[in-house]
Amino acid sequence: MLRAFFASGLVVAAVGLTANPAFAETPVEVLAALKAEASGTPGFQGFSAEHGESFFKTKHSHNLSCSTCHTDNPAAQGKHSETDKLIKPLAPAANEERFTDMKKVAKWFKRNCNDVLDRECTPQEKGDVLSYLLTVKK
Amino acid sequence: MLLKVKNLTRMFAVVVLIMGATMPVAHADDDEDEGRQPAVSNAKWVSECGACHVAYPPRYLPAESWRAIMSGLDKHFGSNAGLDAASANEITAFLEKNADTRKHETLAKPLLRITETRWFKSEHREVAAHNWKNPKVKSRANCGACHTKAESGDFNEDNVKIPK
């Protein structure tokens, strides 16, 4: 009996180790959540990948843009502007972990928008940027 | 006879084990021990602190410094690095538990930068000014520029490679 118990434990552990990393959300689901949020804003007409790209590459406050750290090619590895710490690619096509956890997405948008724009980004801006990132090929 | 040899071998093994556990490991000087200490880790610390810079090992600052850093994350060296309370508490506890416990001169304000500690300055006294100014190094906070295994908490001198 005990042996069977341990054996089943081993099977569970083995399955846990071999299963694909379980992501909480997909980037498309994250985009849908941003859309639901943006829909509440008067005059919302959907997201624009084109606007997202220009927002991503435009310098805002402190001479910083998203691309300062994430580079002009979000499928490439980036570098922290102060510490040179390597940053994994941001585009989901190049990094399957990106935009798969709503909490993480919210946290980093908040933090990085505060650094780059001295304010939080609007749902429109976030959705535009994610729409752009989803168009980036590996 | 065979039994005796077996017993002797066993005894010898036990003695060696005890010696290994109790004998102080010989090092050139106290400061250089730092790079050889086993690296402690905590998943939250790696993912949160290590996102923007090397997750600086807790042993490089005393607990009061870590407390000061963790209670001022909203103004963290020019950036708002505020965390949710649960993550902040977990990381603070990890940092405090593994902090530098050596005696330090009492300062009016705890040091917030590892690079300002006497230990850091002394360890890096042989690094020339032009090395610090090298764009590949850029900042003293960029441990990984020279400490090739900094990401894994290994600051051993043998793994230092100063970029040209």
The answer to whether the beta carbons of residues B93 and B132 sit under 8 Å apart is: no
* Domain end among B82, B97, B118: B118
What pLDDT is recorded for position A14?
Answer: 46
A85 touches chain B (CB under 8 A): yes
Task: Tell me what the pLDDT averaged over chain A comes to.
Answer: 89
Q: Are residues B59 and B104 in the same domain?
A: yes
- Average pLDDT for B19-35: 45
Residue B15 included in any domain:
no
Residue B5 included in any domain:
no
Instruction: Give the nearest chain A residue to B49 (CA atoms).
Output: A85
What pLDDT is recorded for position A136?
Answer: 98
Structure tokens that stand for A36 in this block = 């639901």
Q: Which residue has the higher pLDDT, A97 or B9?
A: A97
How far is A70 from chain B, CA to nearest CA, in Å?
12
Q: Are residues B97 and B129 in the same domain?
A: no
Q: Are residues B100 and B52 in the same domain?
A: yes
Q: Are residues B60 and B99 in the same domain?
A: yes
What pLDDT is recorded for position B144?
Answer: 94
Sequence-distant (6+) residues with CB within 8 A of A74 are: A56, A67, A89, A90, A91, A94, A133, A136
**B70 pLDDT tier (thresholds 50, 70, 90):** very high
- Average pLDDT for A66-76: 98
Percent of chain B at pLDDT > 70 equals: 77
Q: Are residues B100 and B153 in the same domain?
A: no
Whether the predicted pLDDT of A18 surpasses 70: no
Residue B108 included in any domain:
yes
Q: Are residues B48 and B103 in the same domain?
A: yes
Q: Do B53 and A111 touch (CB under 8 A)?
A: no
Q: Are residues B96 and B132 in the same domain?
A: no
What pLDDT is recorded for position A119?
Answer: 97
How far is A28 from chain B, CA to nearest CA, in Å?
24
Residue B7 included in any domain:
no
- CATH 3.40.50.300 applies to domain A25-38+46-135: no
Strand runs (DSSP E) across A62-104, as ranges?
78-79, 86-87
Count structural domains, chain B: 2
Whether the predicted pLDDT of B99 surpasses 80: yes
**What are B113-136's pLDDT values in tens digits?**
999 999 999 999 999 999 999 999
Q: Which domain holds residue B138?
A: 124-164
What pLDDT is recorded for position B2?
Answer: 53
Structure tokens that stand for A57 in this block = 């590459």
Q: Are residues B111 and B145 in the same domain?
A: no
Determine the distance from the C-alpha atom of residue A113 to the mean position of all C-alpha atoms in its chain, rounded to a whole number. Answer: 13
Helix or strand (DSSP H, E) at B94? helix B85-97
What pLDDT is recorded for position B104?
Answer: 74
Please state the domain extents for chain A: 25-38+46-135
Whether the predicted pLDDT of B97 surpasses 70: yes
Q: Are residues B57 and B101 in the same domain?
A: yes
Q: Do A84 and B79 touch (CB under 8 A)?
A: no
- ipTM for this model: 0.75
What pLDDT is recorded for position A5?
Answer: 53
